[in-house]
Structure 1
Amino acid sequence: MSGFDNWEKLVQKQLKTDDIYAILQKENLENIDVKPYYQNNSETKILPKVEESTHLVAEYQDGLEEQAFAFLLNENVEGLEEKAIFINNPDLAEHILTEETNRYFSLIDVFSDDKNAKINEHLAGELLSKAFERQIGIDVSLHQNAGASIIQQLAFALGKSKELVEKFGPEILEKLVFRLAIGSNYFFEIAKIRAFKYLFNQLSKEFEKDLIPYIFAETSLRNKAKNDEENNLIRSTLELASAMISGADAVFSNDHKIENQTELSKEISFKQQVVLAYESIINVFEDASSGSYFVEDITQQFAEKSWKLFLEIEEKDGYLALLKSGDIQKMIFEHATREQSWVEEGKIKLIGVNLYPKLEVKKTIAELYNVDEIKKVRLAEMFE
């Protein structure tokens, strides 16, 4: 009898039932099979990242120049030296003043997010003419904050990449930055980034390349609440840890205050990253969760399911065609409203919102979501 069989019999005895999995397995929105026990059935492959050490990115403000080595810019800032600069504003692309000592990356997405379903070729051309290390952003954070599933997020990222290849050629794959928002399901989010590395590498091989995606990971707004700033800090700290552990190339913490943000709240949000990096040194590892049977297993499941959805999207003429027809919006809508109903029912627990609540339901799911629009919706908005 194997060690696994012995474990099962022991648990059956302790739980006084033969059907232990009905008790030990928990339903999840992604339909990922999460087992109560794992054994090593696969070879571990280290998933590298592009950067040697994860960039800790701060939104620019006076006084942080000495503390931060990477900045998110929404407007031009002169005098920065030896920094990693992430350009966040399309209007800035044309007017940014570059310094030789800095490194520049564009987070600017050139896709429309509505039924116009177009690539802004003028903006793309402007960006591609710049002496940035990476010129085009692919924003998947919008999809996460709109309520898309992890599988949808990864498939859409691949779909947008494929559209860019068809428009600009395979060389575009080396010029991309993928912007992902990290949610609160700690291990699933670690697996999400790991799975995307597998997937993008596989996509690049279709075009005779062997590439690693450049990943900019930020904290989600989806699970944050206006009246619960302290819990927002805890949630975003765990999200940052997921991003660093899984090997993101850059991380950014959105302000933990939804309203009435201040210079201090921005600084505190940035320094979450500093504490994590300098106290635990998790920002220097390529793939810290490699070898975890649980994480390896769910990484594989996410990769397989996302690749399958990507192929289905391609069979229906690609991401832009489905965006134009409204199918992308409908996919996100169906998952987002189901997730919102789980919050309403208490199956997803948000401390201070629907667990030990300070608030009452004020908006319906129908008021929050539109099947024809991809828009950011926080789960707590129902109660605010």
Structure 2
Amino acid sequence: MPYTENFSNWEQLVKKQLKTDDIYTILKKENLEGIDVKPFYDSVEKPLVNLPKVEESTHLVATYHETLEEDVFAFLLNENVENLVSKTIFVNNKDLAEHISPQDEDQYFSLIDVFDEKNGIIDDQLVKELLAKDFKRNVCVDVSLHQNSGASIVQQLGIALAKTKELVEDYGAEILNKLIFKLAIGANYFFEISKIRAFKLVFNQLSKEYGLDDIPYIFAETSSRNKSVSDSENNLIRSALELAAAMIGGADAVFSTNYQIGNNTENSEEISFKQQIVLAYESIINVFEDASNGSYYIEDITEQIAKKSWQFFLEIETSGGYLENLKQGILQKQIYDRAVEEQKWVEEGKIKLIGVNLYPKLDVKKSVEELYNEKEIKAVRWAEMFE
């Protein structure tokens, strides 16, 4: 049977089930990203080539603990640990970075944000100190805060590009292959897969402006935005989906933030990390270069996010660049407006959180004004409204 006839039969069946000819209006799925999502995909306008990772397989990163030394290959360090041989180390502490002198066989990465968001400046001395280190990737461009503050995917990627442009202007295009991008992965599974893929497209496009053909090193961690204090086991389900999205999207490293909000223990940290182990060893999704390539749905979303992110980046540049936008309070207000809109979706039940706004245990509610500040980019969890 020809494909067109199959498609026509599908449409007729849906019309019959929904008892209307206007099926596309009914099946249209609303979202806060301004992305056009179709109810059915039969093609994609421009198929994408494979979007590679820097690493051959995604690093599974754990917070350091001595009991994990034998089994874990990649650690996040907040304090110095002697004699960590043949490990990949992500340094998360400025004072620690000053005292590290990697050996040839070591792989060190900096996750220290060099942007002072509150004052709208780059810490020049810190950048120079980090660039002098023999790290695999020296300078972190951190946009995890923006996701956790309620910024849209388009805003996150546009800001990542704008921060990158600031660094290139100050330190030259050679800094591009010394950058590591820290992203937080949120709850919208397919959109988050597409976010990582879209960032690879727009970063590569930016690098070509400088005569290069670079791809970004992406460190992805689970979001705090959709986590709640009560029913913390639900947080495990949410973070497992976020980790899967990061691996399928093609992150070079993934990290599980603690699923127990405000009650971190060694046991909860171990359980948080072992989600990665289950995903990687049971489904092997950390080894694929671009696992979602060829999915019409994801390809289409990826293209839309990439175009909108590039446009947002150009808007930031037109109005003076990232730091100037911060000083004028423009980005803070844009993120605030979007975060408040998203919070209203939670309040109205359009975004559902079990145990929070769906089957809640307590009838407590804070106002948007208590949670958000239009002059500050700060992390806010959806559930704080109800806690």
For the residues of structure 1 that align with 2:11 and 2:116, how far apart are their CA atoms? 51
Counterpart for residue 105 of structure 1: 109
For the residues of structure 2 that align with 1:5 and 1:315, how far apart are their CA atoms? 46
1:361 Cα offset (Å)? 3.0
1:360 Cα offset (Å)? 2.4
**Root-mean-square deviation (CA), in Å?**
1.1
1:4 Cα offset (Å)? 4.0
Which of 246, 258, 263 is residue 260 of structure 1 equivalent to? 263
For the residues of structure 1 that align with 2:269 and 2:16, how far apart are their CA atoms? 53
Secondary structure of 1:72's counterpart equals strand
1:342 Cα offset (Å)? 0.7
1:9 Cα offset (Å)? 3.1
Counterpart for residue 192 of structure 2: 189
Aligned pairs for 1:95-244 within 5 A: 95-114=99-118, 116-244=119-247
For the residues of structure 1 that align with 2:8 and 2:129, how far apart are their CA atoms? 61
For the residues of structure 2 that align with 1:260 and 1:304, how far apart are their CA atoms? 40
Tell me the number of residue pairs that the alignment of Structure 1 and Structure 2 aligns.
383
- What does the per-residue CA deviation read over 1:259-316, in whole Å, with 9 as the maximum and x for residues that have no partner? 2211111111111101100000000000000000000000001001111111111111
1:317 Cα offset (Å)? 1.2
1:97 Cα offset (Å)? 4.4
- What does the per-residue CA deviation read over 1:92-118, in whole Å, with 9 as the maximum and x for residues that have no partner? 22122434332001111111112x210
For the residues of structure 2 that align with 1:24 and 1:277, how far apart are their CA atoms? 34
For the residues of structure 2 that align with 1:3 and 1:137, how far apart are their CA atoms? 50
Counterpart for residue 376 of structure 1: 379
Secondary structure of 2:50's counterpart equals coil
1:14 Cα offset (Å)? 2.4
Give the unaligned 5+ runs of structure 2.
Answer: none
For the residues of structure 1 that align with 2:47 and 2:40, how far apart are their CA atoms? 18
* Aligned 8 A contact 1:159 1:314 in 2: yes
For the residues of structure 2 that align with 1:5 and 1:111, how far apart are their CA atoms? 54
* Aligned 8 A contact 1:81 1:99 in 2: no
Give the unaligned 5+ runs of structure 1.
Answer: none
Q: For 1:45, give the aligned amino acid.
A: V
Secondary structure of 1:105's counterpart equals strand
For the residues of structure 2 that align with 1:177 and 1:17, how far apart are their CA atoms? 50
Secondary structure of 2:286's counterpart equals coil
- What does the per-residue CA deviation read over 1:304-360, in whole Å, with 9 as the maximum and x for residues that have no partner? 111111111111111111011000100110010111111111110001110111232
Aligned pairs for 1:1-384 within 5 A: 3-41=6-44, 42-114=46-118, 116-384=119-387
* Aligned 8 A contact 2:181 2:216 in 1: yes
1:15 Cα offset (Å)? 1.3
1:126 Cα offset (Å)? 0.6
Secondary structure of 2:221's counterpart equals strand
**Which moves more between the two structures, 13-22 or 266-275?**
13-22
* Aligned 8 A contact 1:224 1:378 in 2: yes
* Aligned 8 A contact 1:223 1:380 in 2: yes
Q: For 1:261, give the aligned amino acid.
A: N
1:375 Cα offset (Å)? 0.6
Secondary structure of 2:122's counterpart equals coil
Q: For 2:86, give the aligned amino acid.
A: E
For the residues of structure 1 that align with 2:314 and 2:345, how far apart are their CA atoms? 29
For the residues of structure 2 that align with 1:129 and 1:343, how far apart are their CA atoms? 46
Question: Residues 18, 164 of structure 1: CA spacing in aligned structure 2 closer, same or farther, 3 A cutoff?
Answer: same
Secondary structure of 1:178's counterpart equals strand
For the residues of structure 1 that align with 2:339 and 2:317, how far apart are their CA atoms? 23
Q: For 1:256, give the aligned amino acid.
A: Y
For the residues of structure 2 that align with 1:360 and 1:286, how far apart are their CA atoms? 46
1:224 Cα offset (Å)? 0.4
1:43 Cα offset (Å)? 2.1
Q: Identity rate of aligned residues, in percent?
A: 68
* Aligned 8 A contact 1:78 1:97 in 2: no
- What does the per-residue CA deviation read over 1:192-235, in whole Å, with 9 as the maximum and x for residues that have no partner? 00000000000000000000100000000000001121000010
Question: Residues 229, 326 of structure 1: CA spacing in aligned structure 2 closer, same or farther, 3 A cutoff?
Answer: same
1:167 Cα offset (Å)? 0.4
Q: For 2:97, give the aligned amino acid.
A: A
Q: For 1:110, give the aligned amino acid.
A: V
1:3 Cα offset (Å)? 4.7
1:44 Cα offset (Å)? 3.2
Q: For 2:222, give the aligned amino acid.
A: T
Secondary structure of 1:63's counterpart equals helix
